Amino acid sequence: MSEHDPNAPVVVGEFDSELAASFVVETLKEAGVQSWTTGALTAGLRAEAPGRVRVLVRSQDAEAAKAALREDAEGE
């Protein structure tokens, strides 16, 4: 039986552009949740193979991140 790693990365969102993902990263930063992106170099690279930018957080922060994103969406 393996233990759950609280620092394992968890995807909390996928976006078509680095700009859209950066807004989410900033929202999470304001909520005190550390996050980062992956895939920015391939997003929109080719029409037939579009990439996605993923926003990740540590698994221990996933619930707080989702709550912050819900709260932000409700405030718009």
pLDDT in 10s for each residue of the chain, 76 residues:
456 899 999 999 999 888 999 999 999 999 999 999 988 765 555 555 567 889 999 999 999 999 999 999 888 6
Q: How many CA atoms lie within 13 A of 27 on its CB side?
A: 23
Question: In the CATH scheme, what is the code of domain 9-75?
Answer: 3.30.70
* pLDDT recorded at residue 1: 42
Domain boundaries of the chain, sorted by first residue: 9-75
Structure confidence at residue 66 (pLDDT): 95
Inter-residue contact 55 to 24 (CB < 8 Å): yes
Structure-token pair, residue 61: 């922060």
Confidence at residue 18, expressed as pLDDT on a 0 to 100 scale: 86
